[in-house]
Every structure is written in structure tokens, then in C-alpha cells.
Amino acid sequence: QVRLQQWGAGLLKPSETLSLTCAVYGGSFTGYYWTWIRQPPGKGLEWIGELNHIGGANYNPSLKSRLTISADTSKNQFSLRLNSVTAADTAIYYCARSSDFWSGCSDWGQGALVTVSS
């Protein structure tokens, strides 16, 4: 059974860079889609972006200019960097895995609350 464990700084000031990492345990890293999703407190889900099965990145257009998603296959990890954060980036951030383009995210990390406040 695959397990996703995520970590990163939980409190940021405006203009700082959000950085989260998700480690994959108990399963293969290659051949899957690796996704980041966020949820502002009390609100709905928002797709941030993904790495596809061959390592290409696909980003939410509304975040693209500030966003980098990358992978370290040697460590079975993938990461999210979001520059120039504001209070609007305050959310629970989830990492997740999909088996392919169409099948949805079947495995999720535990979520990490990131708060942006001065």
C-alpha cells in the first residue's frame, strides 16, 4: 500500500516562497501522475498542478507564473514551490497520486496547512 508523506514550512510572510515536499513510500514513483491540490480554510478544492508519467509539468494557469513542481526520482519525492505568496495562498496543501491522466487521485498525503500572515 503506497503512502504519501508531506512536509514543509507552515507559516510564511507575504512575498516569501512556499516550499513543500511529498515523499512516496511503498510504491513505484515512475509511471504515475503526481499532483498538488490545495484547499483554503472552509472552502473548496483547487488543482495546483501535476507531474505526468514522463516527468512533464502541467500547471494551473492562475498560478503558473509563480509555480514550480519538480521531482527527485532518486528519493521518490516531488516538490512544490510557490513564489511571492500572499494571504490568498493560505490553505491546506495536499499531494496526491494518480495512475494515469483520467483516473483521479487514488492516494493522498495527509495535508499540510500553510498560513501566510505578516
Partner 1 sequence: SSELTQDPDVSVALGQTVRITCQGDTLRKFFATWYQQKPGQAPVLVIHGENKRPSGIPDRFSGSASGNTASLTITGAQATDEADYYCNSRDSSGYQVFGTGTKVTVL
Contact residues toward partner 1 (CB under 8 A) are 35, 37, 44-47, 50, 58, 60-62, 94, 96, 101-106, 108-111
Helix, strand, coil: what percent of the chain each, to 5? 5, 50, 45
Residue number, 1 or 118, with CB nearest to partner 1: 1
Beta carbon nearer to partner 1, 13 or 61: 61
Considering the complex, state which of residue 60 and residue 70 has its C-beta at the smaller distance from partner 1. Answer: 60
27: DSSP letter = S
Least Å distance, CB 19 to partner 1, is 20
Rounded to an integer, what distance in angstroms lies between the CA atom of residue 94 and that of residue 90?
13
In the complex, least distance from residue 72 CB atom to partner 1, rounded to whole angstroms: 23
Smallest separation, CB 74 to partner 1 (Å): 26
Least distance CB 31 / partner 1 (angstroms): 18
Strand partners of residue 70: 79
Backbone angles phi, psi at 2, to 5 degrees: -75, 145
* Residue with smaller CB distance to partner 1, 47 or 81: 47
Grid cell in block for residue 100: 494515469
57: three-class secondary structure by DSSP:
strand
